[in-house]
């Protein structure tokens, strides 16, 4: 099994920036993703990155957030710019081990059950 550990959460003012990191204990899964969940809401996909670094984003964060990965460091990142109070949530790193086929990655944003591994989550709080 792959253990995922997130870091970088915290409090930031609206319009500011924050960078989350996720480290994998062993080799990085084919797909890595960031999800978030706020109280009373379902877990929602934020961004997905494939092994070839192709990326997919939720509409709510397009143009503001950037997902990236460093395979040598077994790490995945989420750069959050121009954050808004609506971005307040617990952010989770997730990994799916194996390739799912062409055009599969974008569907993962709405399919958290397809992921094999999850981190413990980090709190991000955006104040207005």
pLDDT confidence of residue 104: 93
For the chain, the residue count is 128
pLDDT confidence of residue 36: 98
Give the model's confidence band at 27: pLDDT under 50 very low, under 70 low, under 90 confident, else very high: confident
> What DSSP state is assigned to residue 108?
G
pLDDT confidence of residue 102: 86
pLDDT over threshold 90, residue 13: yes
Per-residue tokens: 107: 């569907």
pLDDT in tens, 69-123: 999 999 999 999 999 999 999 999 999 999 888 889 999 999 999 999 999 999 9
- What number is the average pLDDT over the span 26-55? 95
Distance between first and last Cα of the chain: 40
pLDDT in tens, 50-75: 999 999 999 999 999 999 999 999 99
Q: How many other CB atoms sit within 10 Å of the CB of residue 34?
A: 27
pLDDT over threshold 90, residue 5: yes
Kindly list the strands in the beta sheet with 18-24, ordered across the sheet, starting from the edge strand earlier in the chain. Answer: 4-7, 18-24, 75-80, 65-70
Is-contact 22 77, C-beta < 8 A?
yes
């Amino acid at each position: 099994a792959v253990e995922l550990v997130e870091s970088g959460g915290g409090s930031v003012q609206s319009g500011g920036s924050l960078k989350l990191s996720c480290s994998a204990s062993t080799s990085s899964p084919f797909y890595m993703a960031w999800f978030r969940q706020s109280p009373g809401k379902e877990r929602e996909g934020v961004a997905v990155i494939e092994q070839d670094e192709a990326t997919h984003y939720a509409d709510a964060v397009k143009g503001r957030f950037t997902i990236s990965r460093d395979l040598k460091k077994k790490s995945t990142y989420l750069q959050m710019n121009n954050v808004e109070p609506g971005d307040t949530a617990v952010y989770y790193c997730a990994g799916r081990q194996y390739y799912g086929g062409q055009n599969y990655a974008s569907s993962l944003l709405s399919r958290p059950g397809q992921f094999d591994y999850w981190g413990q989550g980090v709190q991000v709080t955006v104040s207005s």
